[in-house]
Chain A
Amino acid sequence: EVQLLESGGGLVEPGGSLRLSCAASGFTFSSYAMTWVRQAPGKGLEWVSGISDSGGSAYYADSVTGRFTISRDNSKNTLYLQMNSLRAEDTALYYCAKDSGKIAQREVFDHWGQGTLVTVSS
């Protein structure tokens, strides 16, 4: 059974940093691209970033480019999202999702974690 467990969320002041983690199990992690999707309180879904199976290619939404960095450690079956220069509008539940393919392009998100909440506020 595919399991994705996010951690690392919390309360941070504007301008601060957080690193989210997503521990994966139940599938061959190194064979699939991975994605972060966020959901602001009471709002819809927003794609944030994706990374290929090897970690060699990474993609970002314009809203986070230059501030967020996605990475993965295939030896630890873990996905990361380093978030810097956080803003109030980054407040959301951050979901880790498994892609249906390898390249993080034109793929659906076929399994999701339960999310970790990031709150940016002074």
Chain B
Amino acid sequence: EIVLTQSPGSLFLSPGERATLSCRTSQSLSITYVAWYQQKPGQAPRLLIYGASTRATGIPDRFSGSGSGTDFTLSISRLEPEDFAVYYCQQFARSPWTFGQGTKVEIK
């Protein structure tokens, strides 16, 4: 099973700042098979990014993904109030499909 480790566990930032979230995988993967999801309190997860940097429908371009090998990054260029949430990375290269433990982006 591929283990995904996200860091930091929590990130305290102000609106307008840039957020950089890390996801490290226990095996080397193509970025083609890495996805990011956003989850707000009391809501279902929502797909943000998958593949090299393909944004899901309706996702603004302030969200972007990058990385290679075992290190992947979700970047949010300028945080909007609605971006404060928990973010999960996921690999879908090898079954079982696994998720990281999440990074919570909180208002400073």
Contacts and interface: CB of A to CB of B under 8 A. Distances in A.
Interface residues of B, number: 23
Interface of A: 37, 44-47, 50, 59, 61-62, 95, 100, 105-115
A105 B47 contact: no
A61 B96 contact: yes
Contacts of B98: 47
Interface stretch (B11-19, B20-28, B60-68, B87-95): B87-95
Contact of B47 (A47, A59, A110, A113): A110
Contacts of B92: 106-108
Given A106-B93, A112-B45, 18 more contacts: A44-B99, A44-B100, A45-B45, A45-B88, A45-B90, A46-B99, A47-B96, A105-B95, A106-B33, A108-B47, A108-B50, A109-B45, A109-B47, A110-B56, A112-B44, A113-B44, A114-B44, A115-B44
Contacts of A44: 88, 99-102
Which 10 A-B residue pairings sit nearest by Cβ, starting from the closest? A112-B44, A45-B99, A47-B97, A108-B50, A108-B35, A44-B101, A110-B47, A61-B96, A44-B102, A106-B92
> Main secondary structure on chain B at its contact with chain A?
loop
A107 B90 CA distance: 11
B46 interface: yes
A96 B89 CA distance: 18
B45 A95 contact: yes
